[in-house]
Amino acid sequence: MSSPIQRRVGQVFVPVRDMAAAIRWYAALLGFEPGAASHGGTIYDVPTDGETRLSLDANRPDVETSGPPRFFLWTDDMVATVAHLRRLDVTITSEVEDIGSVLFVQFEDPDGNALMVCQRA
């Protein structure tokens, strides 16, 4: 079966309520210099490596953020990652888990979005 839709993710949108605070938080988390939001202050494109884009989106401040992580970020050093999350006083919602192919840890951003970082085993 074929489809005209490609099996590649172009962009992930993370709902946020306070754009300025979210930009500062993600900048500290991911290590980039914060910039200005676009689209009337409602969209911020987080600098990423690779093809998939990550945007903070304040267009729907009433969106429900509960549920499982909808994407994950990679790390090469889970111990350093957990230490970094603790230094930033991030709410960590799981222990580091080893499922054979990856190690992962889950945490939340200030808006309650579930996030996850994985390390290849």
Contact 69, 114 (CB under 8 A): yes
Q: Are 12 and 70 in contact (CB under 8 A)?
A: yes
Within the chain, all domains assigned CATH 3.10.180.10 are found at: 65-121
- The first and second tokens of residue 27, run together, are 């900048």
Residues 56-100: tens digit of each pLDDT: 999 998 888 888 999 999 999 999 999 999 999 999 999 999 999
User: What pLDDT, on a 0 to 100 scale, did the predictor assign at position 120?
Assistant: 97
Residue 2 pLDDT > 90, yes or no? yes
Smallest Cα–Cα separation from 110: which of 41, 28, 34?
28
CA distances from 15 to 2, 5, 31 (A): 32, 25, 20
Using left for φ > 0, alpha for ψ between -120 and 50, and beta otherwise, residue 67 falls in left
Question: For residue range 16-55, what is the model confidence (pLDDT) as tens digits?
Answer: 999 999 999 999 999 999 999 999 999 999 999 999 999 9
On whether the 8-63 domain is CATH 3.30.720, my answer is: yes
User: 65-121 has which fold?
Assistant: 2,3-Dihydroxybiphenyl 1,2-Dioxygenase; domain 1 (3.10.180)
